Amino acid sequence: MTIEAATPLLTTWATDTAQPEPGRLDAVVPRENLLAAVQSLVDARWGYLAAITGLDQGVEAGMFEVLYHFCSEAAVVTLRVPVPRDDARVPSVYAIIPSVSFYERELMEMFGIEVEGTPNSDRLFLPDDWPAGVYPLRKDFEMKDAGADHAG
């Protein structure tokens, strides 16, 4: 399926779309519309969810972005969900796509974004003795927060 097939599915839910490269579509989807947007892509069987990544736009910008990458052959559709830094939560798409559990666990432990409704919120990659409340992939992460014995 192509980008042209995906665009009409998302126009209802996205506030902004862009094509940074041929074959890629970036759609900015507000948090409230995320589940509906994912549901419309899944109902139309447009590709598969390849990854969920987090993006920290910096402390001054005060925003995170959660990116949901859907791939269909060579075409990639990315749903960008802006999340304010002081209200970092996003709904879980587990009910639509059960395999997102690992991605959402990684998002929670690396950025501290609360994914609401995901069944398992255990740590995935970080070691068991990693201090709670320290999120390594945030831009304001400091190595000294990670523990005294950490040479780095």
Q: Interface with other proteins by CB under 8 A: which residues?
A: 125-127, 129-130, 136, 141, 143, 146, 150-152
Spatial separation of the C-alpha atoms in residues 45 and 24, rounded to whole Å: 17
State the Cα–Cα distance between residues 136 and 124, nearest whole angstrom. Answer: 13
CB of 104 to other proteins, least distance (A): 20
- Amino acid type, 43: D
Q: Look at the block and give the residue holding tokens 């959402």.
A: 104
In angstroms, what is the minimal distance from the CB of 51 to other proteins?
19
The Cβ of residue 77 has, within 10 Å, a number of other Cβ atoms equal to 27
Supply the minimum distance, in Å, between the C-beta of residue 43 and other proteins: 39
Cα–Cα dist 29/63, whole Å: 14
Q: Could you give the CA distance from residue 106 to residue 53 in angstroms, rounded to a whole number?
A: 9
- Of 18 and 143, which CB lies nearer to other proteins in the complex structure? 143
- Closer CB to other proteins, 50 or 126, in the complex: 126
How near is the Cβ of 134 to other proteins at its closest, in Å? 9
Q: How far apart are CA 109 and CA 146, in angstroms?
A: 13
